[in-house]
Structure 1
Amino acid sequence: MRRTRLAYALVLATLGAAGCGSDPAPVTPPPAAPNEYSLGGTVSGLEGKGLVLEVALPGDLFSNLAIEANGEFTFKPALEGGDSYEVTVAVQPADPAQSCTVKGGKGVVASADVTGVSVECVRLPADPRWIGGEVSGLKGTGLVLQNNGKDDLSVTMDGAFQFATPQADGETYDVTVSAQPTNPAQTCAIEAGKGTVDGADVKGVLVKCTDDPPVFNVDPSTIDVTNADRCDFLDTAHCLFPWPNDHFTVADPTTSTGRRVALHPLSMPVNAEVDLSPAVNAPAGTIVSPGGIGMDPTDWNRADGFSPGQMLLTYVPGLDLGMTGIGPITHMERSLEADSPLVVIDAETLERHLVWGELDSYATSDATRALIIRAGMNFREGHRYVVALRNLKDSAGQILEASDAFQVYRDAIPSNVPAIEARRDSMEKIFDVLAGAGVERKELYLAWDFTVASANSLAGRMLHIRDDAFEKLGNAAPTFTITQVLQNPDANRSRRIIGTFTVPNYLNQANGVAGASFNYNAPDDGLPDQFDGSGTLQANFICNIPRAALPDGNDATSPVVPGRAALYGHGQQGSASQVNGGAATGELSNTYNFVFCATDFIGMSSGDNENILRLVTEFGRMNTLADRLQQGLLNNLFLARLMIHPQGFISDPAFRGGPQNQPLIDTSDVFYYGISQGGILGGALVAISQDIRRGVLGVTGMNYSLLLDRATGFDQLRVFFDQAYTNEFDRRFVFSSVQMLWDRGETNGYAWHVGNDPLPKTPTHAVLMQNAFADHQVTQWSADVEARTIGAGIHVPVVNPGRSIDTTPYFGIEPIASYPHFGSAVFVWDTGPFDAMQNKGTPPPPVENKPLRDGVDPHGVPRVQPGARLQISEFLRSTGKIIDPCGDMPCLAP
């Protein structure tokens, strides 16, 4: 029954392709003996007809199986334990013509059914060109060739060979040896194995095998793998370099990515004791941050991947960026060029991702100067990426040698070290991705992979507390209490209303005080639970009624024109009281009739100052900032609901006026306007809001791990941070890793959903970004990354010719074609070159990761421009649009 001829297979193929004939009567095999096992697997990608598989069995026996569709297959004859088998393609499918390859088709039957054979089919090019050549000198067995890092071809004898998958004209081919022959051991080398297909089959690849043993420059037994379970021995400069890295994850089928971060406590940075007294002008020793505390990775390990804006880190001794040709922040498009020494590849699409490279300018020596790789647009959620450094050079132009550990994998050096071999398969998968993207293995200095967290991992906690809180609220308005009403507090406002409102508390301390973190009930399902089951907190609010809505707060006969409802987001570690300012909200509200309300953005408000001070010396506390930020976002959502609910603010006399006791707020819609920190956090708020659909983000950016390096505002805290973490590689790791938690409360973790890819149960949104060229506090580079990620159009011309130092100014941000523009947009306001005599203007920002300190900081300029204010008014409407306030010219601020 097992013996079947290939001729019969061809008959099956012909019948299948013709689509006619009748099937032979089924033959019922005899019952399998207890020691017999089935052989099968799955077929994928099949489109054509006539595919026939063949299996070679012991005793020169063969069996064929016609395949008609994708899915599982099983050969008819049963196999006995110990039988060898080899599955091959006897006949390729036609109509359309395809090439099918077999993976995992060769082996010996153990005491179980064989189900892992994989047959993958791809459609052939219209004019297929076959890649092949000659093998000579082959004596051993097990030689496997690959083309472009795939399409495995086993070769058993000298003579002609040809790969199963053809290529099209113009495509490149790269034939390599995937496995060298054994019995006897030989070394086979490729000649003429690379090129471009050009109008004919490739037949000139030569594979020459010799008995000379390969010569390796590295002895794997000398590689220190002592902590390979928690460190990466590819980069010995730091336990957690290269970073981020799937080596620090584990498989987890319950997550959206199939992985989970698994940082080991012993691998995390440990702090030193720091006297914080100078920060509060107290006597020495008054406030001391304890030392010897390692970062607890518990909250990091809740993630199913790394930040979409993660800072990538490694150390390359002697690296010269200019000599190597790595594109800096001003030439990040270099990373997309074919010969770029720095590439980051999407493992799914094989597309190159826009990145730049820079050396840490804060390091005090070259021996501690990390290579930083940053994304010019956020990495895609849930995607796996491969990072590759190749052809790196020192200042003399000499090629830098890869580490011994990496050479073992790159050069396929065999070893008998279990820790090394345990990782070889994952490294080969990395090389496969790079080969598919045209990156040559032999050129590599270092390569590693990492997986980006899913949307569920990034936003899941926030969406959970949002949905839980609003489900409990139902159709009601949040409860609120007014504690003070001020009539006519200034020239722009007729009434200031101050009070508190009630919000469910998901933090682990009563009233969600500073220093609290999320409350997780046992058993911990990874989602926050309301404190004590029904605990609440009291959030503060300040609302200002403009005179445009009510001319005089004391005059009950003043006519009422209800003002547009808008939340205001305050600046760095500020408070709701910043809504009382004149430059940002006062004149704007009175000119265009906005009622602005604000609450403290807890987590990063003035009430969090002490916690933040302690945090920078003990970053294991980072969850106390990130979790309270998310509670702060929820507080803002409740405040927005209060502004538009019929039983909300307008139900109270303080929010009514005029002879007919009219509402002072137009409840038909609610908007958002945030500046600086309010812009950085505001993108997240808009992305998760079910009430707010439009927001203005003033002098904004995202990704604090990028912002802090280039912000003058971190100067004071950096002093204490450096004292706490004296290892300069630790500092880089801390700055990078904290972004994974910060993502949960700032725009970087929500950027892909700010625009047209809304989060679950959330409408689409649009934002207007108003930025300052060469901002000293919120770097323009972070705003550019945000604009690319959210898909914002940019006003052109952006700046005057020669003003930008970019090779391609604002690369990757699409120009706005015409006005009015609908959707998200970014406008850059420029105060002009620095004029020391007049003390105005600013130079472009530095290329390195440091803040701009020269010139006059333009951070506060856009908000006071009449054109910018008009633009805000036109955009923050239910049918809002983007207008051009600059008249087809750059937006210049005198």
Structure 2
Amino acid sequence: MAFRPVIRSAAGFVLAAGLAFGVVAVPTADAAGAAPAPAPAPALNPALAPALTLAPTPAHTGCDPLAGTACLLPFPDDWYTRPDRTAPTGRRVDFSPADLPVSAVAGATDPTAWNRLDGFSPGSALVLTVPGLDPAASGLAPVTDIGRSLARDAPVVVLDADTGQRWPYWAELDANDPQHRALLVHPARDFTPGHHYVVGVRNLRDTAGAAIAAPAPFARILGRELPHNDPLWQRQQEIKPVLRALARDGVRTSRASGLYLAWSFTVASTTSLTGDLTAIRDSAFAQLHGAAPAFTVTAVTDQTPAQDPNIARVVDGVVEVPSYLSQPGGPTGSVFHRAPDGRPAQLPGNVQTARFRCEIPRAAFTTPSQASLYGHGLLGSRNEVGSGNVRAMAGEHDFTFCATDWIGMAAEDQNTVVTALESLSTFSATTERVQQGVLDALFLGRDLVHPAGFASDPAFRTADGRPLLDPRAGVVYDGNSQGGILGGVLVAESQDVKRGVLGVTAMNYSVLLNRSVDFTALQPALDAGYPDKLEQQIVFQVMQMLWDHAETDGYAEHLADHHQVLMDVAFGDHQVANVAADVEARTIGARLHVPAVAAGRSPDVVPYWGIAPLRDAAGPGPDQNQNQDQDLDRRPGPDHRPGSYQGATMVVWDSGTPPAPLTNTAPLGPQYGHDPHSDPRNSPVVRTQKAVFLTTGVTIDVCGGAPCTEPPAG
């Protein structure tokens, strides 16, 4: 049964649709290839990197005059930062209310939440407008040919100024906006946190094949030295290091060179991206002094085999968690209470009561079970742990799954989420409460492994006192869809969870939302607040800067450093776009089961470009394109054996669905066939692979060396 919330927005309209990114949020327990190329080689010797260091730029006021277009374009742009020696990047975001989009519902945006950051999102798309642009005539690298982005004559050049390397990307026009047709340049792997980047756009053509002239302000900057009293003089000085960096990479930068635009931006540091959640985690766990979190079992429901063949006992209860939110108990709409240093702080006595549900399998009454946290879907609840596929895996493989409401993105947060889409000023009420929700789940995980936690309670023991949880096995994580998108945060931050399965997953909402059939239900809220489609693309990027603190995009760079991750992907997924899963795999250094899909299934020139194959874990083979960046393959896992792999992996499951659109639109319409989003979790074969991975850390080949296929779930 699909979860169909009715949401009333501040604009007064009503939304009713399935909003779980395909994870069925159930109110009851009955709901139901070619070898990939390695990554592109550095286009510039890293020894030249010191020459690419950008000169510091001052703080600014007003919109960047560089392109003479909408404010915040091009985006991201260091014009909207200021120098800050206390920040790890040396910069601090410096938005003013006049810079940010104005909500038609709520008015100007308060920039406070953004101005704490020391840079932009590592997953940010580059956004600009180019009137008359023809991507094909200009030779822009499409999503089907990412390797073209690193060609010497590529029309868009993105350089990591700290290393001298070119960065891979794909470019597309916003298919949702025929008026402005914004150019969106997406990193094919997330930008490196804390690094500085230089962008050059050149040799663009219109539909008639004619060259497109640079915007007038930028053309003047490319010309002769401007007098000191010229309004563009300061900007000309700031752009000079950018032009020098591009010139060292072979990009011509004279006024007659065909250079359309050039600028630079800074990516937020890891400290900025993860610091709030890490701070509340460390503070909360320090308060335990080694003890188990306090909990109360509120209900124990034993079931007969006739009632449920897999689950023998359901345990409900609450865990007490220090709350760092601004209101007592942290209700929906709360944001972090912050100390003078800007970090979240606990109001005296503020405690979060995290409700949980655990499903204990029948097998546990014979052999103690593996404990696992479960992550529910968008705007769902802990009750999703009782859905059919989760119960099946529990029964088949002796797992006890426990879940808590992922507050911030739980059922009770529906109206808060809608309001956030209508008004950027309220968006932090979503992302900051999600981080508290992650802390709630971390405390639940500690109770699952601590000897004085659940193991000490009769609810988790047999009638004769034998444990139902295996005390030696620790705790793992399994989540689907929204549980995969946010689950990477929990895995990355957990000191107890060492392995996690991220099912039908991806990261980066600024990429996902336009491409998801689920977002059509929420689109009216965004339209009410920001009716201009060009402005919506800016809103997505600005939102992503805060989303990074609460979803995998902000944690991906180091997710696989100390944790093992298995990504399950449904080919042609209608709800969580495959392109964003591919970016996640490249960023975390995941290896790919190959052949990933049958020949001819992928529309890409090089299917799964830049994701190294499982069968070649020792390094690149002689047939691999030497034009690829081996840095994308920087985290080989240990213990590689034929048919198995121990490390971060991605497995693509194909139910026969056609590929998703190649544009930033959702696969709406019968031509896109069956939505395969729920198919992997409903497959016994997939559940076997997941169970082996979660208990051993090894990804076994359950597909016999062939593409992994599975009939659509019934």
- TM-score normalised by length of structure 2: 0.85
SS at match of 1:667: coil
State the partner residue of 1:462. Answer: 277
State the partner residue of 2:507. Answer: 702
State the partner residue of 1:106. Answer: none
State the partner residue of 1:718. Answer: 523
State the partner residue of 2:646. Answer: 822
Superposed CA deviations along residues 676-698 of structure 1, whole A, max 9, x for unmatched, are 00000011110111000000010
In 1, Cα distance between equivalents of 2:388 and 2:363: 15
Aligned-residue CA RMSD (Å): 1.8
In 1, Cα distance between equivalents of 2:350 and 2:402: 25
State the partner residue of 2:27. Answer: none
Contact 1:260 1:303 in 2 (8 A): yes
State the partner residue of 2:417. Answer: 612
Matches within 5 A, 1:164-243: 229-243=61-75
1:418 Cα shift? Answer: 4.5
Does residue 596 (structure 1) correspond to residue 413 (structure 2)? The answer is no
State the partner residue of 1:424. Answer: 236
Paired amino acid for 1:781: V
Does residue 869 (structure 1) correspond to residue 705 (structure 2)? The answer is no
Equivalent residue in structure 2 for 1:740, among 529, 541, 545: 545
1:490 Cα shift? Answer: 2.1
Paired amino acid for 2:645: H
State the partner residue of 1:635. Answer: 440
Paired amino acid for 1:360: D
In 2, Cα distance between equivalents of 1:431 and 1:312: 18
| Runs (5+) with no aligned partner, structure 1 | 1-121, 125-147, 151-226, 274-290, 551-559, 757-763, 833-841
In 1, Cα distance between equivalents of 2:234 and 2:222: 15
In 2, Cα distance between equivalents of 1:844 and 1:728: 26
In 2, Cα distance between equivalents of 1:650 and 1:535: 27
Does residue 537 (structure 1) correspond to residue 352 (structure 2)? The answer is yes
Equivalent residue in structure 1 for 2:120, among 306, 318, 323: 306
Does residue 803 (structure 1) correspond to residue 619 (structure 2)? The answer is no
1:426 Cα shift? Answer: 1.6
In 1, Cα distance between equivalents of 2:532 and 2:675: 32
In 1, Cα distance between equivalents of 2:705 and 2:86: 52
Of stretches 484-493 and 881-890 in structure 1, the one that deviates more from structure 2 is: 484-493
Superposed CA deviations along residues 449-469 of structure 1, whole A, max 9, x for unmatched, are 100000000001111000011
State the partner residue of 1:505. Answer: 323
1:715 Cα shift? Answer: 0.4
Matches within 5 A, 1:238-637: 238-273=70-105, 291=106, 293-365=107-179, 368-441=180-253, 442-488=257-303, 490-521=308-339, 524-531=340-347, 533-550=348-365, 560-583=366-389, 585-637=390-442
1:149 Cα shift? Answer: 9.2
Paired amino acid for 1:433: A
1:228 Cα shift? Answer: 6.8
In 1, Cα distance between equivalents of 2:238 and 2:703: 53
Equivalent residue in structure 2 for 1:667, among 462, 471, 484: 471
In 1, Cα distance between equivalents of 2:249 and 2:432: 39
Equivalent residue in structure 2 for 1:752, among 557, 572, 576: 557
Contact 1:603 1:624 in 2 (8 A): yes
Contact 1:149 1:435 in 2 (8 A): no
1:416 Cα shift? Answer: 4.3
Whose Rg is larger?
1
In 1, Cα distance between equivalents of 2:329 and 2:126: 38
Aligned residues: 624
SS at match of 2:342: coil
SS at match of 2:334: coil
SS at match of 1:729: helix
State the partner residue of 2:24. Answer: none
In 1, Cα distance between equivalents of 2:531 and 2:679: 38
1:423 Cα shift? Answer: 2.1
Contact 1:230 1:263 in 2 (8 A): no
Contact 1:310 1:374 in 2 (8 A): yes
1:482 Cα shift? Answer: 1.2
In 1, Cα distance between equivalents of 2:51 and 2:413: 53
After the TM superposition, which parts of structure 1 deviate over 6 Å for at least 4 consecutive aligned residues? Answer: none
Higher RCO structure, 1 or 2 (CA under 8 Å, sep 6+): 2
Contact 1:351 1:437 in 2 (8 A): no
In 2, Cα distance between equivalents of 1:872 and 1:249: 44
Contact 1:250 1:261 in 2 (8 A): yes
Superposed CA deviations along residues 631-652 of structure 1, whole A, max 9, x for unmatched, are 0111111000000111101111
1:357 Cα shift? Answer: 0.8
Equivalent residue in structure 2 for 1:651, among 449, 456, 459: 456
In 1, Cα distance between equivalents of 2:567 and 2:264: 33
Equivalent residue in structure 1 for 2:482, among 674, 677, 680: 677
Q: Which is helix-richer, 1 or 2?
A: 2
Matches within 5 A, 1:146-157: none
1:230 Cα shift? Answer: 2.0
Contact 1:149 1:431 in 2 (8 A): no
1:600 Cα shift? Answer: 0.6
Paired amino acid for 2:466: Q
Equivalent residue in structure 2 for 1:782, among 566, 580, 589: 580
Contact 1:350 1:436 in 2 (8 A): no
In 2, Cα distance between equivalents of 1:707 and 1:499: 34
In 1, Cα distance between equivalents of 2:342 and 2:191: 24
SS at match of 2:244: helix
Does residue 729 (structure 1) correspond to residue 534 (structure 2)? The answer is yes
1:710 Cα shift? Answer: 0.4
Superposed CA deviations along residues 458-499 of structure 1, whole A, max 9, x for unmatched, are 001111000011011111100111111111162211000001
